[in-house]
Amino acid sequence: MIVVDANVIVALVIANSIASSARAVLAADADWIVPSLWQSEVLNALLNEVKAGNVTLEGALEAADTAAQVLHDRVRECRASAILTTAHTSRLTAYDATYVVLARSLGLLLVTEDKQILRACPDVARSMRQFLSPRQPPPAVREKPATYRARNAGKRGGS
């Protein structure tokens, strides 16, 4: 189970440069959780894609339907006070802080391509690349062998 940011959702439903990564994230963990504002953010991003000529209105409508199907029953709420506090302390927008608060409150990772979130909240935020990279075992601690000296080293017995 992971929390996903709107930019990952948009990448999943329209053909863009990071679509294959979004599909790989879904394949790795299909149990996506989102805050209720996901729909407005995704619709706004899709509208911007239409305005930029990257997708037709019909394509955006299809993408919105696909996103709604993927995220059906995946919406969770979080406390407004936590969102405002997180936004203030991390210098994120309240929109971005909502994803962070949701991830933290559920003890989950937040998968996002938002560089500001990735910098401000490394405790929970991971890029798609980071999420998909194989987990590395912690580095082994190598200590020098202990050197023991005899208490009276160098002294010959009895003198």
Q: What is the pLDDT of residues 79-133, one digit of tens each?
A: 999 999 999 999 999 999 999 999 999 999 999 999 999 999 999 999 999 999 9
Tell me if 139 is assigned to some domain.
Answer: no
Tell me if 102 is assigned to some domain.
Answer: yes
Tell me if 138 is assigned to some domain.
Answer: no
- Match 């937040």 to its residue by tokens: 110
Overall number of domains in the chain: 1
Write out the two tokens for 155.
Answer: 């002294």
In whole angstroms, give the CA distance from residue 115 to residue 112.
8
Residue 85: give the domain boundaries: 2-132
Task: Specify the pLDDT at position 15.
Answer: 85
Task: Specify the pLDDT at position 151.
Answer: 59
**Average pLDDT of 133-159?**
57
In whole angstroms, give the CA distance from residue 46 to residue 60.
6
**Average pLDDT of 144-148?**
54
Tell me if 154 is assigned to some domain.
Answer: no
Tell me if 35 is assigned to some domain.
Answer: yes
In whole angstroms, give the CA distance from residue 159 to residue 154.
12
- Render pLDDT for 62-84 as a digit per residue (tens, 0 to 9): 999 999 999 999 999 999 999 99
In whole angstroms, give the CA distance from residue 102 to residue 5.
11
Question: For the domain that residue 99 is a member of, what is the CATH number?
Answer: 3.40.50.1010
